[in-house]
Amino acid sequence: MNATTQQFLNNSLGTRTTIDDVIEDLEFLDDWEERYAYIIDLGKQLPAFPDDQRTEANYVHGCQSQVWLIHHLDEDSGKLFLLIDSDAMIVRGLAAIILVALNAREPRELLTVDIDELFERLDLFRHISPTRGNGLRAMIAKIRDLAATEVGEQAPSRIS
Amino acid sequence: MTDLSVATSLAASTLDIDAIRNEFPILGQTVHGKPLVYLDNGASAQKPFAVLDAMDRYYREMHSNVHRGAHTLGDRATVAFEGARETVRAFLNAADTRQIIWTRGTTEAINVIANGLAEKLNPGDEILVSQMEHHANIVPWQMLAERTGAKLMPVQVTPAGELDLPSFDSLLGERTRIMALTHVSNVLGTINPVQDLIARARSQGAITVIDGAQAVPHFQPDVQALDCDFYVFSSHKLFGPTGIGVLYGREELLEAMPPFMGGGEMIERVSFERTTWNTLPYKFEAGTPPIAEAIGLGAAIDYLQSLDRPAIEAAEQALLNRCNELVETVPGMEVIGTAASKVPVMSFKIAGLHPSDIGTLLDQQGIAIRTGHHCAMPLMDFFSVPGTARASFAFYNTLAEVDQLFQALRKIQRLLT
């Protein structure tokens, strides 16, 4: 197992930290400063992103900040593992929330998660709304595409 | 304090900012529970009642198509519409309304010019632009260069964000057919010495195009004094509606240019064998024009001209001076663009903070700025930044709002570091 695979599997976001933890924490904080301090702290929990993976192919295009995404399908568990990086702190924090919701899921299960509804509930929807050019929406779409591709590839093999 | 800043503070104090702000209904709202502080005027400025009312009145009382002439409403609409053209002519001090062409905005105006000059270019000819241009004053010329075999020559910028004049002189030559420069940089706020540069370019026989989008909200250009061939700007940055802009052009060049679009209004006579063009300015105005928008732009200019312009310019400089005084209160803050002659625009970076984070957390405090590359990627490359945060002011902004901006920046810095 190489170092990058270890980084995928050791990611606590979406495994040890669950979406219920995040919802509970954020609902407890009503002051915007505390909420953003919390989101930024979550961003600090993103595992290190391999330097050699910051490539054009892994780059998610957005207007204001840079976002990179890589994935790994674990053959033993059938789960999709994700790593994300960004140069902006709040985007990193929001990416961490997305990972808590989507990381280490089987692709079929991942596709059932309603991210828009989750962000509405957290009162953060404006950050992923189509009007914002920060690349998060494009990233969510890319993750869902990855999952759909995995499901699509698996489906025929099950039929045969 | 210098004599100049004493003078500007005195002049600024004669302005009744509260009364001015009351003319802009959008400014009274709250965002995230905080009073809106709108500092994104460089992207688009807000609209006074004078503009909103003029457009509303047009649709309620005189809407009809223009230049059709068969009925009373059409006559009223045409009078108001052509009246707006006269208002723009007077604003620019152009010689004739035939030189004032409506476009959708600055971008379209530059495209109309670039398209119209294609026949004048040969392979090896040069188009002078600068490193501080908005993409709208780069890409149309790049497309033209590709079409004709001409070359794009970017004038360098100095670290202070001024045009590098030795670079300009070294690039201007007998192959220079077109010089396309911005009057004021949208990122840096630098006011370029265009009058002098136009004279130098014209002496080489070059056609001169000035992008006035960021200039007209702050001062009034005089196209005859500038002696440029083309001057273009957008209405929405000049407190008028979106969807309309102005192309001013020298008459003989406009006459020689082919139309940009074909259709109704721009023709004199159409047959399947041959179509002849309408006279200026209609040759460049195919289709039903943006009538309400033209009237709204006219109203915006009338409103601006009713204000004490010298006092407004002084008040704007006072905003910029206050910014410069407060920069040192935010550790690690650096202003990008420190030209001697600037409109009130402050692009900045703060060590360790991403512009996108600054923008998000200012928004939480009710403060609207722009972050990103500002459609000027070559300039971002020059300053080696992925983007900047930019506060751009209008005359309705207050010194108290500048203080709030810096207070908010200090709070963000505490939060993020």
pLDDT of A158 higher than 70: no
Given pLDDT bands bounded at 50, 70 and 90, which one contains residue A10?
A: confident
ipTM of the complex as predicted: 0.85
**Active-site residue numbers of A?**
63
Q: A61, A65, A85, A124: best mutation site toward chain B, by most B Cβ within 10 Å?
A: A65
Query: Which residues of chain B make contact with A66, given a CB cutoff of 8 A?
Result: 386
Q: How high is the pLDDT of residue B119?
A: 95
- Indicate the average pLDDT of chain A: 87
The CA distance from A78 to B122, in Å, is: 62
**Would the CB atoms of A64 and B361 count as touching at under 8 Å?**
no
The domain in which residue B381 lies consists of 3-31+308-416
* Residue B41 placed within a domain: no
Parallel, antiparallel, or unpaired: how do β-strands B126-130 and B151-155 relate? parallel
Q: Cis omega (within 30 of 0) on the bond before B344?
A: no
Residues whose CB falls within 8 Å of the CB of residue A36, separated by 6 or more in sequence, listed in order: A90, A93, B360, B361, B364, B415
pLDDT of B11 higher than 70: no
Given pLDDT bands bounded at 50, 70 and 90, which one contains residue B241?
A: very high
B354 & B314 share domain: yes
Report pLDDT digits (tens) over B311-367.
999 999 999 999 999 999 999 999 999 999 999 999 999 999 999 999 999 999 999
Last residue of a domain, one of B253, B277, B305: B305
Report pLDDT digits (tens) over B74-95.
999 999 999 999 999 999 999 9
Last residue of a domain, one of B274, B289, B305: B305
B295 & B315 share domain: no
Domain tally, chain B: 2
**A86 forms bridges with which residues in the sheet?**
A67
Dig out the tokens for A92 from the structure. 């990193």
Report in angstroms the alpha-carbon separations of B130 from A142, B134, B211, B391, B402.
37, 9, 12, 23, 30
pLDDT of B105 higher than 60: yes
B104 & B222 share domain: yes
Contact at 8 Å (CB) between B276 and B269?
A: yes
**A84 forms bridges with which residues in the sheet?**
A69
What integer is the mean pLDDT of B161-168?
98
* Residue B238 placed within a domain: yes
B335 & B394 share domain: yes
Contact at 8 Å (CB) between B74 and B65?
A: yes
pLDDT of B9 higher than 70: no
Tokens 């209160």 locate to: B329
- Give the residue among A147, A5, A159 at the shortest CA–CA distance from A74: A5
CATH, residue B401: 3.90.1150.10
Parallel, antiparallel, or unpaired: how do β-strands B267-270 and B275-277 relate? antiparallel
**Would the CB atoms of B354 and A36 count as touching at under 8 Å?**
no
Given pLDDT bands bounded at 50, 70 and 90, which one contains residue B390?
A: very high
Contact at 8 Å (CB) between A81 and A156?
A: no
How wide is the angle at C-alpha B235 spanned by C-alphas B299 and B228, nearest 5°? 110
What integer is the mean pLDDT of B25-33?
96
Dig out the tokens for B121 from the structure. 């270019």
* Residue B46 placed within a domain: no
How wide is the angle at C-alpha B398 spanned by C-alphas B396 and B403, nearest 5°? 150
Q: B356, B371, B373, B416: best mutation site toward chain A, by most A Cβ within 10 Å?
A: B356
Report pLDDT digits (tens) over A32-50.
999 999 999 999 999 999 9
Q: How high is the pLDDT of residue A1?
A: 62
- Give the residue among A75, A90, A73 at the shortest CA–CA distance from A134: A90
What integer is the mean pLDDT of B10-39?
89
Q: How far is B104 from chain A (nearest CA, A)?
A: 22
The domain in which residue A26 lies consists of 3-159
The CA distance from B267 to A29, in Å, is: 65
Q: How far is B352 from chain A (nearest CA, A)?
A: 10
The CA distance from B185 to B383, in Å, is: 14
The values of phi and psi at residue B381, to 5°, are: -60, -40
B87 & B201 share domain: yes
Tokens 């392979």 locate to: B123
The CA distance from B57 to B66, in Å, is: 16
Q: How high is the pLDDT of residue A154?
A: 56
Domain tally, chain A: 1
Given pLDDT bands bounded at 50, 70 and 90, which one contains residue A133?
A: low
What integer is the mean pLDDT of B372-394?
92
Percent of residues, chain B, with pLDDT higher than 90 = 89
* Residue B43 placed within a domain: no
B109 & B153 share domain: yes
Tell me the three state secondary structure of residue B52: helix
Q: How high is the pLDDT of residue B304?
A: 97
The CA distance from B83 to B205, in Å, is: 35
Give the active site residue among B110, B163, B375, B408. Answer: B375
* Residue B38 placed within a domain: no
Query: Which residues of chain A make contact with B355, given a CB cutoff of 8 A?
Result: 64
Farthest CA pair distance, chain A: 55
B244 & B364 share domain: no
The CA distance from B86 to B79, in Å, is: 10
The values of phi and psi at residue B132, to 5°, are: -100, 15
Q: How far is B369 from chain A (nearest CA, A)?
A: 13
Is the pTM for the entire model greater than 0.90? yes
Closest residue to B372, CB basis, from A63, A89, A127: A63
B243 & B375 share domain: no
CATH, residue A118: 3.90.1010.10
- Give the residue among B109, B42, B105 at the shortest CA–CA distance from B376: B42
CATH, residue B69: 3.40.640.10
The values of phi and psi at residue B35, to 5°, are: -60, 135
Query: From the CB of residue B123, how many other CB atoms can be counted at a distance below 10 Å?
Result: 9
The values of phi and psi at residue B116, to 5°, are: -75, -20
The CA distance from A3 to A52, in Å, is: 12
Residues whose CB falls within 8 Å of the CB of residue A76, separated by 6 or more in sequence, listed in order: none
In B14-67, which residue ranges form alpha helices assigned H by DSSP? 17-22, 49-57
B300 & B317 share domain: no
In sequence order, what DSSP letters do the residues of B120-170 get, joined into one string?
Answer: G--TT-EEEEETT--GGGTHHHHHHHHHHT-EEEEEPB-TTS-B-HHHHHH
Last residue of a domain, one of B305, B333, B362: B305
Report pLDDT digits (tens) over B184-226.
999 999 999 999 999 999 999 999 999 999 999 999 999 999 9
* Residue B42 placed within a domain: no
Dig out the tokens for A87 from the structure. 């140069």
Q: How high is the pLDDT of residue B350?
A: 96
The CA distance from B163 to B130, in Å, is: 8
Dig out the tokens for B374 from the structure. 């500002």
Q: How high is the pLDDT of residue B165?
A: 98
- Indicate the average pLDDT of chain B: 95
Query: From the CB of residue A66, how many other CB atoms can be counted at a distance below 10 Å?
Result: 20
- Give the residue among B76, B41, B82, B49 at the shortest CA–CA distance from B60: B76
